[in-house]
Amino acid sequence: MLPSDLTLPTKACHNCRKRRWKCDRSLPVCHKCMSSGAECLGYGKLFVWNQGVASRGKMMGKTFESKLKTKQGGETTRKAVKSKENQLSQQSEGPRNGELPENTVEVEEIPRQQTNDMALSTTLIDPLYQDLSPNSRYYLYHFVTQICMDLVIYDGGPGHNPFRDLVPATTAFPTLLHIILAGSAHHVFNISRDPITPSTYQPEKRPCLVQYYQAVSRFGGPMKTSYADALLAKQQALSFMAKSVASVTPANIDVILAAILMFINYDLIESGRDKWRVHIEGARELIARLDTPPYLQEPMSKLRLAVLADFLVFFVIGATFTFATSRVLIPESIDLDPILKYAETNNYLSLPGPLLRIMVESFKLDDTREDASEDIPVHVQDEIGELLKAALDFDPADWVATFEPAGPIDNLDHRLHIASAHRAAVCIYLARALPYTNPLIDPNSGSALLNLTDLADEILHQVSYLKPGDTLYKSISWPLFLAGAECEGVARRVWIMDKLDEFYELLYWGYVHTAKKILEIIWSCKDKYGANTSCWISDIKELGYEILIA
């Protein structure tokens, strides 16, 4: 089924016409080209990208790669550049009227959707980005139009998505630029290695994939070097980061923290294994400065709120496979309320603030165990029991009744479902800090506060109400994973795997593959040793993994 904004082509693609092949006129690209290994040049206007050299003005002697100029458009292009210059608050003086390269190729006007129009135009023609290669400009475009939407719940206009608003800062912060390019390139790699035909779990193609092939065709076809580009950009970002952390100031600390956050997002796009915790520990050293002048902000900027909220969520759910006390991430002198409020409203997991606070409280408990096989002291078990009761007392309906929507399209029914799923997941999260024989969770004790299998079923029930395309669908991965770890029965396992496939084919983040592999390990151990003979967290810890399921 084609997206509503696409129509079937009436002519063969340019490549088939040139080679006199019979074109199947498939979208987003011709299957004949794909099967032959040729690059499909599409069905519309054929765009030729050329290099030009400015002959006068401040850009004299410099090349302008891929400069667009419509037949109506010398003036239109110049207005777009001037508008963008004003938007970036005069961060750079670009070419003025009359300074377009002399041998810029003229092309007809490109029809585009309004949202992607501005993003593509600024990515291609903004003078601030002309030193980037065509691939890098596309990766920046991909970040703006795709990845930014995945990082928040509500992705409205200017000012609503602090991560998109960061893009102008990439001209002054090479660390931020290169880690954004790295994550975007790896995301493109994830997309481009998927088959273009629908899979069993993907009856309709995601618009992202169609848009990817449409947009990238303007750069000459799908990026064949995206994986290598990702590794190179990441290495460059690491090199710049070493210099950035040595020169932190009140003016740049939030951007540097945002760059560290993008390293974690890169790891999630790649696999979610091993490396993310190092970045959180590095961020902790900078976050510790934020409660004292001159770093203190009252009130905090939207960027700082967004960055701290994401760090806090990653820090807390990153402890899913451990119960080891740790230094707090955010100093107690910093007011946690606005951070929790932002986290529940616009962090993509939509974890209700009261539940997130309960999880933060668990880090304050003593843990005198030397390893995971030892029992927790009785007083710690009692304190975990109190946190469990607090989580069980959380009422998602009451929470939704006072919730302030993130935007005009926020669906409160969906918020209720995901809050209910998170409530059950937090209970599992806390319960698995206890020995599996503890009477609070042992179903044979007669005094258990909860039943872990019932909690898993509750998560599956609530998640079933959310469908691909729903804004909050991106919030299901962590509770769905915990449900998988606790569920019983082959039918439930198949449903969860199908749902994770569906989730991956919506977002293309590599940690979803890791989640599936870990669940297979957990289920294998359960089948071999019995569901009630050990805790799956201990099984995973023995493998030595550092995993983030977000």
Q: What is the pLDDT of residues 224-249, one digit of tens each?
A: 899 999 999 999 999 999 999 999 99
Torsion of CA 309, 315, 320, 321, to 10 degrees: 160
**36 shares a domain with 185:** no
Reduced to 3 states, what is the DSSP secondary structure of residue 415? helix
Cβ 181 vs Cβ 171: under 8 Å = no
Residues 299 and 419 placed together within one structural domain of the fold: yes
Give the span between the Cα atoms of 238 and 244, in whole angstroms.
Answer: 10
Label residue 537 by pLDDT band (50, 70, 90): confident
Residue 274, phi-psi category: left (phi > 0), alpha (psi -120 to 50), beta (remainder): left
Residue type, 516: K
Task: Report the pLDDT averaged over residues 313-317.
Answer: 94
CA gap 34, 375 in Å, rounded: 58
Question: Do the bridges between strand 106-107 and strand 51-53 make them parallel or antiparallel, or are there none, so unpaired?
Answer: unpaired
For position 72, what pLDDT does the model report? Answer: 39
194 and 336 co-located in one domain? yes
Q: Are residues 414 and 273 in the same domain?
A: yes
Cα→Cα distances 267→319, 514, 526, Å: 16, 11, 29
246-305 tens-digit pLDDT: 999 999 999 999 999 999 999 999 999 878 989 999 999 999 999 999 999 999 999 999
Kindly tell me if the per-residue pLDDT of 76 is higher than 90: no
Residue 267's H or E segment, with its range, is helix 253-270
- At residue 365 the predicted structure's pLDDT band, cuts being 50, 70 and 90, is confident
Q: Is the dihedral of CA 336, 338, 342, 345 positive or negative?
A: positive
Residue 491 has pLDDT above 60, yes or no: yes
- 281: tokens are 């520990």
Q: Is the peptide bond before 294 cis (omega within 30 degrees of 0)?
A: yes
Both 277 and 406 in a single domain? Answer: yes
CA-nearest of 475, 431, 480, 477 to 460 is: 480
What is the phi/psi pair of residue 437, to 5°?
-95, 0
Cα distances from 329 to residues 282, 308, 310, in angstroms, run 11, 9, 12
Residue 361 located in a structural domain: yes
Lowest mean pLDDT among 27-36, 229-238, 422-431, 441-450: 27-36
CATH of the domain at 28: 4.10.240.10
C-alpha distance across the termini of the chain, in Å: 30
Question: How many structural domains are present in the chain?
Answer: 2
Contact (Cβ atoms closer than 8 angstroms) between residue 36 and residue 49 = no
Same-domain check for residues 171 and 299: yes
Q: Tokens 């003979």 sit at which residue?
A: 533
Q: Classify 54 as helix, strand or coil.
A: strand
Residue 279 lies in a domain: yes
The stretch 469-475 carries a mean pLDDT of 94
Q: Is residue 429 part of a domain?
A: yes
Half-sphere exposure of residue 263: CA atoms within 13 angstroms, side-chain side: 24
* 303 and 166 housed in the same domain: yes
Averaged pLDDT, 393-415: 93
65-to-102, 139, 210, 392 alpha-carbon distances in Å: 12, 15, 25, 59
Domain assignment of residue 34, yes or no: yes
Proportion of the chain above pLDDT 90, given as a percent: 47
Per the domain annotation, does 57 fall within a domain? Answer: no
> Do 506 and 500 touch, CB atoms closer than 8 A?
no
Q: Are residues 410 and 261 in the same domain?
A: yes
Residue 317 amino acid letter: I
Question: Mean per-residue pLDDT for 469-492?
Answer: 94
DSSP designation for 273:
B
Which residue range(s) make up the domain with 20? 9-47
Query: Is 60 contained in some domain?
Result: no
Entry field: residues in the chain: 550
- Element (H or E) spanning 69, and its range? strand 69-70
The pLDDT, as a whole number, for residue 214 is 65
**Residue 56, token pair as written in the block:** 């006068």
User: Does 267 map to a domain?
Assistant: yes
Q: Please say if the pLDDT value at position 104 is more than 70.
A: no
- In a domain? residue 322: yes
- Of residues 509 and 12, the one with the higher pLDDT is 509
